[in-house]
Amino acid sequence: MNITTFAKRLCLLVPLLLSPAAFAAEMMPSPPQLAAKAYVLMDASSGNVLVENNGDQRLPPASLTKLMTAYIATLEIRRGQIGENDPVTVSENAWRTGGSRMFIKVGSQVTVSDLLHGIIIQSGNDASVALSEHIAGSEDAFADLMNKTVADLGMTNSHFMNPTGLPNPEHYSSAHDMAVLARAIIHEDPAHYAIYSQKEFFWNGIKQPNRNLLLWRDKTVDGLKTGHTEEAGYCMVSSAVRDGMRLIAVVFGTNSEVARAAETQKLLTYGFRFFETQTFYQKGTELAQAPVWKGATSQVKAGLAEDLTMTLPKGQLKKLAASMTMNPQLVAPIAKGDVIGKVEVKLDDKVVHSADLIALDGVEEGGIFRRMWDSIRLFFYGLFN
């Protein structure tokens, strides 16, 4: 595919990372106003924030904290640092932890997998402490690991002091950060994400239900986690999929278990009704070829560094236009992943998003005669261009 053809096709195939307010407001109603301290609605594929109110406000996250605890545990499993069936000896510290519990017994051994289920489904503080001690040796050391992961994920308004979410003045997060974390959980480890959809878990003779009421009310909802303390109010992070589109909804500080489910449902309903998402190309797909000077080959394959995904108000696709430009005079050597061009997306002649085009393969320097010949050509090219 040549560059001209790609540019024409790209007019229909560009990711939109623009606030819905920039589009024709008369075509869709205003977002719902929720009875919550803060909330965010995010598209899971693109990461676009579709609706937000106080999304970056630092608030106590209560048991939403356990999303980070579980995320780190599954990360350690994937890295081979711990195993699903590894036995974990329950310390007295874990056993004595107050609040919601899995009801593990001091001195007993529980597998990593069972503790993970107890954290996600039963919101067990005791399970969270036991698993954090197994991974890092102590709650404090695990908190350090949590905050390193916060930085890795770009969660700029979060800081954790414990793996449970029990109140601490220095323990906080935000609705936007929790959506970022949920997106990582969903995309990075689908196998363990399936745990978040389980409605109940049986342990130590006690069957406890998942506190996410939407798992019973909406068959499209398949996660994630609830939280509650007197200080935080009732909080929830949920995700749902309809017609191939996944949304993440986060609410902080509602006044009841019923309210957090109802307010979350408002966000999800609004998002699915008035927005659409589609992925046209995955990262690494060849979209064009660009000329290379002084190289072992005369062209380099160009593609996008990230998936080409669109999230926008329904019916607004036809208003977008895009163009592609390559960096002038690409000269070998070129390394795989080097930025060699740019895509610009426009709405009414205003650039609303740009994305880098990268080299999909490396191009080594050509032989001496190729380099000499191209040097001569470049000299005359420079004179006339």
**How much is the pLDDT for 240?**
98
Using the predicted structure, report yes or no on whether residue 11 has a pLDDT greater than 50: no
What residues contact 264, with CB distance under 8 A and at least 6 apart?
Answer: 214, 236, 238, 249, 251
Of the candidates 369, 366, 285, 301, the one whose C-alpha atom is nearest the C-alpha of residue 336 is 301
Of the candidates 252, 250, 315, 243, the one whose C-alpha atom is nearest the C-alpha of residue 272 is 243
**How much is the pLDDT for 303?**
85
Using the predicted structure, report yes or no on whether residue 172 has a pLDDT greater than 70: yes
**How much is the pLDDT for 20?**
44
Q: Dump pLDDT digits (tens) for 65-102.
A: 999 999 999 999 999 999 999 999 999 999 999 999 99
- What is the rounded average pLDDT for all residues in the chain? 87
333 against 287, higher pLDDT: 333
Range 341-367 average pLDDT: 80
**How much is the pLDDT for 343?**
81
Orientation angle between helical segments 125-136 and 139-153, nearest 10 degrees: 90
**How much is the pLDDT for 16?**
38
Give 282-384's CATH code, choosing from 1.10.730.10, 2.60.410.10, 3.20.20.20, 1.10.8.50.
2.60.410.10
Range 57-67 average pLDDT: 98
Q: Dump pLDDT digits (tens) for 214-241.
A: 999 999 999 999 999 999 999 999 999 9
Domain boundaries, the chain: 31-274, 282-384
Catalytically active residues are 63, 66, 123
Using the predicted structure, report yes or no on whether residue 178 has a pLDDT greater than 60: yes
Range 332-337 average pLDDT: 87
Using the predicted structure, report yes or no on whether residue 23 has a pLDDT greater than 50: no
Class of domain 31-274: alpha beta
Q: Dump pLDDT digits (tens) for 130-152.
A: 999 999 999 999 999 999 999 99
Are residues 282 and 73 in contact, defined by beta-carbon separation less than 8 angstroms? no
The secondary structure of 221-257 as a DSSP string is EEEEEEEEETTTEEEEEEEEEETTEEEEEEEEEESSH
**How much is the pLDDT for 9?**
44
> Which pLDDT band, with edges at 50, 70 and 90, does 385 fall under?
low
10 against 261, higher pLDDT: 261
Using the predicted structure, report yes or no on whether residue 115 has a pLDDT greater than 90: yes
